[in-house]
Every structure is written in C-alpha cells, then in structure tokens.
Structure 1
Amino acid sequence: MIHLPSPHLLRLLLALGLCALVSLAHAQKKPSSTAALVPQEEPSTMILSDTLHFDDTKRESTFSGNVVMTRGFMTMNADNLHLREDAEGFQYGTGTVKPGKRVFIRQVRPEVYEVLEGVGVRAEYNGKTETFDLLGQAVVTRYICGQHFDTVSGERVRYSQKTDIYEAFSGPDSANAGGRVRSIAQPRARADAAVAECKAKEAGLPAPTPKLSPATPATPAAGTRLPPAPVRP
C-alpha cells in the first residue's frame, strides 16, 4: 500500500530543497527586471534514504542511511537528515555524518559555467534567518569551466541568502592548522577569461587570446631572431 505524505512533510521537503539550493549560490547574477516578472518553476525535490521516520504532531522527519537529496542542479550527501518546522512555519534542516566523514554538497550553475562544492562535519539551515552553515572542517570550493578558482575554509562557513555574502569563522575544529580561516581567490579577470573560453568552445569558435599587460612584453616564438641591442655612444 502506498501512503501519500502529509502536507507538513511536503512543506518540509520543499523547504530543505530550497535551503540547499541557496546555500551555495555564490555570486549568483541578479535577473533582469523583465525576467524577474516571469515566475520561476520550482524544481522537484527527491530524497533517497534507507529509512524515514515522520512525526506529524511534532512536524519533524528524519531520513537515515545513505541520504541523497537532489533538487534541480543541487545534490547533498549525508548519513542522516533531520527536518523540522516551527509554529511560525519556518523550516530548519540538519545533515550529519558518521565519525570520519563529512556532509557533501554540490551545486552546478550551468548559466555561468560554475560548480560549487562544500563539505563539513554538519550542515545546518535556518529558515528564519535564511542562513546555511557548514560546520566542522568546513570547506567551500568554486570551479569555473572545470578549473579550480576559489576556496574558503574554517571551522564554520556561513552563507546568507538575504545578503548574498559568505562568512568564515575560525575555531578548534577548523580545516586549517591553528584553527585559522583560509581564503584563496583568483583575480576576476581570470574568471572572466575562463567563462569566455567556455562560451567560445560551445559556439565552436577559437578560444579568445588573453590580453597582455602593457608592462609585460610579448615573448618571442622559438627561433625568432631578435634585433641587436642599441649601442651606447
């Protein structure tokens, strides 16, 4: 016999899909005024697990064992996933793993040729504050056109949906030595060049030639005879 989930469970599932989607939407482009008027279709959310326990009275559900949640271009892997909804209707989600493992989140952003990956001992979403946290050995990495570009790591990495800002916090369970925060970012020009290269490949065009800085002379090809240096009087 097939039992359909209650409305509370459906709201919780959709809420978690939303939180995971916004958690790694780093540097997402703002839609144009025309596009903003067009309603966006909600992607479907699918959660696979070995077991599911749902308490309709408490508005809580727990997925256990090899949890895989997929929503649109986002995928999250964890050992356990706990969802709850408060009296005001705000949703909260917590993903955990067994000792020695980390929660994994992957967000593909094909419109800008980006892939965002995040790991942490625990993942938490607060629907009231609209923030998503990766806690314990937290690392978030951005790839553009398959190339590694930016990485931020610490004990906790937080993303705010309201402000579209990342924050990293130090602590004893940081992914870095001494509990410090670490950030590695590539120049914006390099990211733009990688996107332009991907667009050219899709269009079947040759890759654009990088522009040289005025202070950087071009390197002559092998075998090219250089003119003699001027002789000082």
Structure 2
Amino acid sequence: MKANFMPMLRSATRLLLAALLAATLVPAQALQSDKTQPIQVEADAMHYNDVKQTSVFTGNVVVTKGSLVIHAARVEVVQTPQGYDDATAFGTPNKLATYAQTLDAQPGQPTPSMFGSAVTIHYDGKSDVVTFTGQATLDRLSDGKLTDRAQGEVITYNDLTDVFTVVGGKAGATPSNPNGRVRVMLSPRTTQPAAKPSGPAPALKVSPGLGAQP
C-alpha cells in the first residue's frame, strides 16, 4: 500500500518527522530541500479511527521525506484531547525501528548524515521530547564515516532545550557490555586553518603624540 497522507493526518505526521529530525548527537540542520519534499508512506495496511483520532500503519512501514527515511514494523499517530500529537515507530528486538537523514554541509566540507535505531521511537507533541527505547543508538557520520555514537537503553532528546540524555541499565546488557553501561564515542572536530593575509602587513605608524616634547 502506498499513499500520501490525508489532510487530517498530515499535521500529526509532520510533527513526528520534525521531532525525529532533531534527535542528533551534534546539533545540525537537516537538508533545506527536505522541508519542501512531500511526505510519503508505504505499508502493507493502514487503519484510521476518526473517533479515537488514531492512524496506524503496519507491515514494513517506510516513511520518506526528501533524504529522511524511517523504517518500522508499525507506526502509530495519536491526537490527544488537548490537541497535541503523539507518534511512535515500533520495531522489534531483532529488527529495530530506524531512521536516516542527510544534513546540510558547509561549503567545501564533508557531507554529514545521521542514523538512529531503537526498538521504539516515541515523540511527545506536548513536551517536544523524542525518546528512543531499547537497544538505542544515535550515530553521526561524515561522508559515510562514523564520527560520533551514543548507545544506551534509553536516549531522550528535548527539541525545546536542545539537550539529550542517555541512560543505561541491565535491560540493555549485551555479551560485550554485561552491565548495560552507557557508551559514547565522540571524534575530535577538525578546524579550518586561519586565512593568510592577501598582502604584506601595513607599516606601523607612530602616533603624533608619542615622543613629543611637552
């Protein structure tokens, strides 16, 4: 099944996508061209309940908007009685929900991108908080090369304060990390050398007041 969102669903889904775009280890802007691209969804089935204000997409769900791509087994969007929108992308422990996106690059710099995954990715429309739960990982790449990574059982990003937290726990334990501790890898940032002067430095001039006799 492939469909463009109906007008009544469009605002809720855009909030979901905007929140997912914001969840990055190092703040950066998404491709400006992504904002003008249409939202498209592919799924095996979709169910919309007008009474409960819920939209449910199931079966190999793929959400795209420009360079942004979200994969999940199930995506649910709910409008609360207060008018806020909550959205959740569901994966499984064996097949996590994922999203990937290209970010804007500075002229002459490598192209940055993001990749995130978790068992569930939840967006709270009231608080503007995105929560990645279960085997959560957030990666930042430069020309496809990994530069930053955060791993934990729960990763939370607040879009209003631009703050993210990573929480570990036994639930996130693996053979290589039996205590489920938080793991973060940050690469040093490269800086551009200062521009050289285009010509010789101007000659120093003596102020008329210096050395003058009283």
| Aligned-partner Cα distance in 1 for 2:141–2:4 | 39
Aligned residue in 2 for 1:75: 69
CA 1:4–1:125 in 2, change beyond 3 Å: closer, same or farther? Answer: closer
Aligned residue in 2 for 1:203: none
| Aligned-partner Cα distance in 1 for 2:25–2:67 | 11
| Aligned-partner Cα distance in 2 for 1:27–1:99 | 28
Which protein is richer in helix relative to its size?
A: 1
Q: Does 1:106 align with 2:100?
A: yes
Aligned residue in 1 for 2:181: 180
TM-score (norm 1): 0.70
Amino acid at match of 2:13: L
Greater relative contact order structure (CA < 8 Å, 6+ sep): 2
Amino acid at match of 2:81: A
Aligned residue in 2 for 1:60: 54
| Aligned-partner Cα distance in 2 for 1:76–1:41 | 16
| Aligned-partner Cα distance in 2 for 1:41–1:18 | 10
Q: Does 1:121 align with 2:123?
A: no
CA 1:111–1:148 in 2, change beyond 3 Å: closer, same or farther? Answer: same
| Aligned-partner Cα distance in 2 for 1:4–1:178 | 44
The ranges of structure 1 where at least 4 consecutive aligned residues each deviate by more than 3 angstroms after the TM superposition are 3-7, 40-43
**Residue of 152, 162, 167 corresponding to 1:164:** 162
Gaps (5+ residues) in structure 2? Answer: 194-214
TM superposition shift of 1:98 = 3.5
**Contact 1:96/1:122 (CA < 8 Å) preserved in 2?**
yes
Secondary structure class of the residue paired with 1:188? coil
Aligned residue in 2 for 1:207: none
Identity of aligned residues (%): 26
Gaps (5+ residues) in structure 1? Answer: 30-39, 197-233
Secondary structure class of the residue paired with 2:169? coil
